[in-house]
């Protein structure tokens, strides 16, 4: 099986960051498989999954990519890291169902922690999480919006999930919806 790599990078947002990083991937004969890129407070953050185009040279490739990450920092101001990943035996999906969870309420500390702690305590896996602060057009208040994709084990009852999330809703005075 061909080894894959996760590349993470960030730097002050500017034109050319994606071109600089994708050039490293291309010139090292890799394929960009999945990516997430976003601007966070003026910093451009990147997470990439890449694989070599041909098998058998993964050790040399890891060294080359590590060297390229250091070069990106020196020459372009892009802090980048490479890490090999392997795919563990995946859980049978028949034992899980997928849901999306949405949280919205006044911005306050602890929303992500309390929701994620409840999910973890119930063996519920987060497959993606996005959050942002928006401002209410009526009052100008900061509204925290959280969107989470979940894999919920079938042995966790819907009642357990609803009760736990209702407690968090009451505690934080937020709205939580599961679809």
Instruction: Give 54's pLDDT tier (boundaries 50, 70, 90).
Output: confident
For the chain, the average pLDDT equals 93
For residue 1, pLDDT over 60 is answered with no
Short-list 67, 6, 80, 13, CA closest to 40 = 13
Whether 92 shows a pLDDT value over 60: the answer reads no
pTM over cut 0.75: yes
More confident residue, 89 or 145: 145
Q: How far apart are CA 43 and CA 137, in angstroms?
A: 26
* Beta-carbon contacts of residue 171 (< 8 Å; ≥ 6 apart): 114
- The reported pLDDT for the residue numbered 89 is 59
Residue percentage of the chain with pLDDT more than 70: 94
Cβ neighbour number for residue 103 with a 10 Å cutoff: 22
Say what the pLDDT of residue 168 is: 98
Q: What is the DSSP letter of 156?
A: S
pLDDT at 40 over 90: yes
Provide the pLDDT for residue 86. Answer: 83
Task: Please give the helix or strand (H or E) that residue 147 lies within, else none.
Answer: strand 142-153
Q: How confident is the model at residue 60 (pLDDT cuts 50, 70, 90)?
A: confident
Delineate the domains of the chain, giving CATH numbers in brackets. Answer: 4-85 (3.30.70.260), 93-178 (3.30.70.260)
- DSSP secondary structure code for residue 88 in this structure: P
Instruction: Flag whether pLDDT at 32 surpasses 90.
Output: yes
């Amino acid at each position: 099986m061909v080894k894959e790599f996760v590349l993470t990078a960030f730097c002050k947002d500017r034109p050319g960051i994606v071109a600089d990083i994708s050039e490293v991937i291309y010139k090292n004969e890799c394929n960009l498989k999945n990516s997430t890129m976003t601007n966070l407070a003026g910093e451009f953050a990147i997470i990439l999954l890449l694989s070599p185009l041909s098998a058998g040279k993964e050790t040399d490739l890891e060294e080359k990519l590590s060297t390229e990450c250091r070069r990106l920092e020196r020459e372009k101001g892009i802090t980048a890291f490479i890490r090999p990943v392997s795919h563990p035996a995946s859980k049978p999906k028949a034992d899980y169902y997928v849901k999306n969870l949405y949280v919205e309420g006044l911005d306050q500390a602890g929303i992500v922690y309390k929701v994620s702690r409840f999910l973890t305590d119930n063996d519920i896996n987060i497959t993606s999480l996005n959050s942002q602060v928006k401002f209410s057009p009526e009052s100008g208040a900061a509204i925290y919006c959280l969107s989470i994709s979940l894999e919920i084990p079938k042995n966790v009852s819907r009642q357990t999930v609803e009760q736990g999330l209702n407690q968090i809703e009451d505690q934080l005075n937020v709205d939580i919806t599961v679809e």
